[in-house]
């Protein structure tokens, strides 16, 4: 007689079990969502961000970081496949790998979205990513989603810092992924699944590529604070779990980020020149005082006004309206009060986000008489030139803002619980603190509801047909000789609008030269391009010199940009 082994299951029965589990997986997922609330609040925040973005000066494209992302994502993807970029200047190593943003724009453009619509949906999605990430981060201590999470998310999404840094969105991407990097790092240190969460961190970083390397460096400061808190204060992680997550992240990250790292090393010479010539610490920290940085301002371009108007018009009410100006300090004050009065241990971590973020934002302010911290930074910039990548301390404002948001959300709900214990007979008083917090948020975010996300910022209605036709004509010509666009410009403002960088890369496949503020060639080549451009502007210009340049440097076409708004931007006047 054969005795059946109870541990063995027949193949048909095993297949049936697997099939039932697969079919019921969506039902079980929906059941978890019902009790988890993460998916509904994420969807709600996304819809809110979309509504705000789509209602902000609709039909008008804003000048963003790279026009090529939106207007021609396919060409951008094709150029990312090569580490050498021969299309701009005299050629250089490419260090711009932005996979996820380019894929997002590409999908929307394939679906028929206009440049303006795709841009707004992208900005709204970044804002929603901040809010959802803050909810996920706070759930590491408060699992059940409620008012605490909602208040923290809303402030992180629409805080003064968020509005000030939305454009160009390349700066904002680092802020959008910061709470997710912190959340995945916490889970990787706490749980016994370091491979899973190391992979999650690498995926997030690889998805955005090299959009904002300095912002990523400041994100790692936040990860360091998390590690210190979990190991030394909360003791829910150990040095062993920290090491386990770290080496796994490095093992997964090296191949995943190889393209970015190789491009960064190869283009180090160009990057070093940009560090020496753009956004010096003496300029960046000219307005980054403690009060201004504390309320999410302090970014030097917020205080710049030129012939075209204010650089960030969406933030004007934070300076011109007294009520809004005062209100912008109230949430940071509430955050400090929560840090001082609460007895929750995690407040120490949130407070470290706030304080360290502010310390990095303030930097070397005041320039004429810096603090000991500022003098130490000046010394570091002089001794270690590569450290100047951290001179843009305003990018650490995301860490400070998230710290304020978390303290504000936790403090508001704890105040509500205190009221409920104090006035047990008045049940409706339980809503007093959340209602007051929502009212405060409404006041702080007045510029969002009145001026929208963009205010009266520079932008464009549409790209003129003659621009597209001229680029198409150049591409249709035989050969691969370069086209030289003159005059160059520090900021490309046209009579028909502004796209922040230029339309050439998006519309022209032919190699081309143009003198720009951020160099597209290696240092000597960039200097040569600047010299060529200045030679056309010189009153002593010798006829025939441009022809000589063309023969020597492979230039066959000279394109005079007569549509530049040269009077507004103080540029050279185009003339034949």
* 366 to 287, 370, 372, 396: CA distances (angstroms): 8, 5, 11, 18
Please check the confidence at residue 456 and state whether its pLDDT lies above 70. Answer: no
Within a 10 A sphere around the Cβ of 390, how many other Cβ atoms?
20
Residue that has been written with the tokens 């039932």 in this structure: 20
Distance, in Å, from the CA atom of 269 to the CA atom of 367, rounded to the nearest integer, reads: 28
92-149 residue pLDDT tens: 777 777 888 888 888 888 888 888 888 889 999 999 999 999 999 999 998 888 888 9
User: pLDDT tier at 352 (50, 70, 90 boundaries)?
Assistant: very high
pLDDT band at 423 (very low <50, low <70, confident <90, very high): low
SS3 at position 489? strand
Centroid of chain to Cα 412: 28
At 403 the pLDDT is 94
- Rounded CA separation 213/324 (Å): 33
Q: Which residues contact 175 (CB under 8 A, 6 or more apart)?
A: 126, 130, 161, 162, 165, 215, 397, 398, 401
pLDDT score at 154: 93
With bands split at pLDDT 50, 70 and 90, how would you rate the model's confidence at 429? Answer: low
Q: What number is the average pLDDT over the span 407-415?
A: 89
Least confident of 48-57, 324-333, 486-495, 506-515: 486-495
User: Residue 54: what pLDDT?
Assistant: 84
pLDDT-based confidence at residue 277 (cuts at 50, 70, 90): low
- The whole-number average pLDDT for the span 217-243 is 90
408 — pLDDT class (breaks 50, 70, 90): very high
pLDDT at 245 over 50: yes
pLDDT at 457: 65
Mean pLDDT of all residues belonging to the chain: 79
pLDDT above 50: residue 3: no
Q: Which residue has the higher pLDDT, 222 or 287?
A: 222
Residue percentage of the chain with pLDDT more than 70: 80
Helices H / strands E in the chain, number of each: 28, 11
pLDDT tier at 2, thresholds 50, 70, 90:
very low
In this predicted model, which residue has the larger pLDDT, 360 or 546?
360
Percent of the chain surpassing pLDDT 90: 18
pLDDT at 6: 46
- Split at pLDDT 50, 70, 90, the class of 572 is low
33 against 495, higher pLDDT: 495
Q: Which of 66, 99, 77, 65 is nearest to 207 (CA)?
A: 99
**pLDDT of 369:** 84
pLDDT value for 366:
84
pLDDT at 558 over 80: yes
Among the residue ranges 242-251, 311-320, 519-528, 555-564, the one predicted with the least confidence is 519-528
Cα within 13 Å of Cα(277), Cβ side = 14
pLDDT at 243: 92
Mean pLDDT, range 146-166, rounded to an integer: 89
| β-strands 555-560, 482-486 pairing | parallel
pLDDT score, position 493: 74
pTM: 0.84
Mean pLDDT, range 478-492, rounded to an integer: 77
* Contact between residue 296 and residue 117 where contact means Cβ atoms under 8 Å apart: no
SS3 annotation, 25-60:
HHHHHHHHHHHHCHHHHHHHHHHHHHHHHHCCCCCC
Question: Which distant-in-sequence residues (6+ apart) come within 8 Å of 190 by Cβ?
Answer: 140, 230, 236, 237, 241
pLDDT value at residue 99 = 83
Top-confidence residue, 32 or 193: 193
Residue 530 has pLDDT above 80, yes or no: no
State the burial class of residue 426 (Cβ atoms within 10 Å of its Cβ: 0-12, 13-18, 19+).
Answer: exposed
Burial class (CB within 10 angstroms; exposed 0-12, middle 13-18, buried 19+) of 538: exposed
pLDDT reading at 407 higher than 90: yes
pLDDT at 309 over 70: no
* More confident: 94 or 246: 246
For the CA atoms of 212, 214, 219, 225, the dihedral, rounded to the nearest 10 degrees, stands at 180
The pLDDT value given to residue 355: 93
Q: Which of 19-28, 72-81, 495-504, 507-516 has the highest average model confidence (pLDDT)?
A: 507-516
How does residue 276 score in pLDDT terms, banded at 50, 70 and 90?
low
| Residue partners of 35: CB distance under 8 A and separation at least 6 | none
pLDDT of residue 1: 40
Range scoring the smallest mean pLDDT among 174-178, 328-332, 530-534: 530-534
For the segment 40-66, the average pLDDT, to the nearest whole number, is 78
Read off the pLDDT band of 155 (50, 70, 90). Answer: very high
Least confident of 36-40, 261-265, 305-309: 305-309
Q: Binning pLDDT at 50, 70 and 90, where does residue 225 land?
A: very high
Region 444-459: what's the mean pLDDT? 74
Q: Tell me, what's the pLDDT at 139?
A: 93
Give first-to-last CA distance, the chain, whole Å. 104
Query: What pLDDT score was predicted for residue 574?
Result: 60
Average pLDDT over residues 444-467: 77
Q: Is the pLDDT reported for residue 532 higher than 80?
A: no
Match 């307005």 to its residue by tokens: 287
């Amino acid at each position: 007689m054969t005795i059946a082994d109870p541990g063995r299951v027949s193949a048909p029965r095993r297949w049936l079990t697997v099939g039932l589990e697969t079919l019921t997986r969506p039902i079980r997922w929906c059941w978890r969502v019902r009790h988890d609330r993460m998916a509904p609040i994420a969807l709600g925040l996304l819809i809110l961000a979309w509504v705000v973005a789509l209602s902000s000066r609709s039909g008008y494209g804003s000048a963003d970081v790279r026009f090529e992302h939106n207007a021609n994502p396919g060409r951008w993807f094709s150029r990312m496949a090569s580490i050498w970029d021969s299309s701009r200047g005299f050629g250089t190593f490419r260090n711009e790998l932005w996979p996820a943003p380019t894929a997002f724009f590409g999908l929307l453009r394939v679906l028929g979205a206009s440049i303006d619509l795709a841009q707004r949906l992208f900005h709204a999605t970044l804002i929603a990513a901040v809010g959802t990430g803050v909810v996920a981060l706070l759930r590491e201590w408060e699992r059940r989603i409620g008012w605490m999470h909602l208040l923290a998310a809303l402030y992180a999404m629409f805080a003064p810092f968020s509005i000030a840094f939305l454009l160009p969105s390349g700066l904002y991407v680092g802020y959008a992924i910061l709470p997710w990097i912190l959340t995945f790092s916490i889970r990787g240190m706490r749980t016994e699944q370091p491979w899973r969460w190391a992979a999650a961190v690498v995926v997030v970083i690889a998805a955005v590529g090299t959009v904002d390397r300095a912002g990523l460096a400041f994100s790692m400061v936040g990860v360091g604070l998390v590690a210190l808190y979990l190991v030394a204060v909360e003791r829910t992680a150990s040095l062993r779990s920290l090491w386990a997550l770290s080496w796994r992240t490095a093992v997964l990250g090296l191949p995943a980020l190889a393209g970015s790292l190789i491009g960064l090393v190869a283009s180090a010479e160009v990057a070093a020149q940009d560090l020496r010539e753009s956004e010096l610490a003496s300029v960046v920290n000219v307005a980054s005082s403690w009060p201004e940085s504390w309320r999410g301002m302090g970014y030097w371009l917020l205080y710049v006004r030129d012939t075209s108007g204010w650089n960030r018009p969406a933030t004007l009410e934070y300076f011109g309206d007294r009520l809004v100006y005062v209100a912008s300090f109230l949430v940071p004050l509430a955050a400090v009060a929560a840090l001082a009065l609460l007895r929750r241990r995690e407040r120490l971590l949130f407070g470290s986000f706030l304080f360290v973020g502010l310390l990095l934002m303030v930097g070397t302010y005041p320039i004429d008489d810096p603090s000991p911290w500022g003098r130490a930074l000046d010394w570091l910039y002089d001794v270690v030139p590569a450290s100047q990548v951290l001179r843009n301390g305003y990018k650490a404002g995301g860490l400070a803002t998230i710290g304020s948001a978390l303290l504000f959300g936790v403090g508001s709900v704890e105040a509500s619980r205190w009221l409920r214990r104090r006035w047990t007979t008045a049940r409706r008083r339980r809503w007093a603190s959340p209602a007051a917090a929502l009212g405060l948020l409404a006041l702080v975010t007045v510029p969002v509801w009145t001026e929208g996300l963009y205010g009266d910022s520079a932008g464009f209605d549409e790209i003129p047909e003659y621009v597209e036709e001229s680029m198409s004509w150049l591409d249709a010509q035989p050969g691969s000789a370069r086209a030289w666009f003159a005059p160059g410009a520090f900021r490309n403002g046209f009579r028909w609008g502004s796209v922040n960088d230029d339309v050439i890369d998006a519309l022209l496949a032919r190699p081309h030269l143009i003198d720009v503020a951020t160099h597209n060639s290696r240092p000597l080549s960039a200097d040569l391009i600047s010299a060529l451009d200045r030679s056309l502007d010189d009153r002593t210009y010798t006829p025939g010199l441009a022809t000589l340049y063309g023969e020597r440097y492979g230039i066959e076409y000279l394109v005079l940009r007569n549509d530049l708004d040269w009077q507004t931007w103080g540029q050279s006047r185009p003339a034949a």
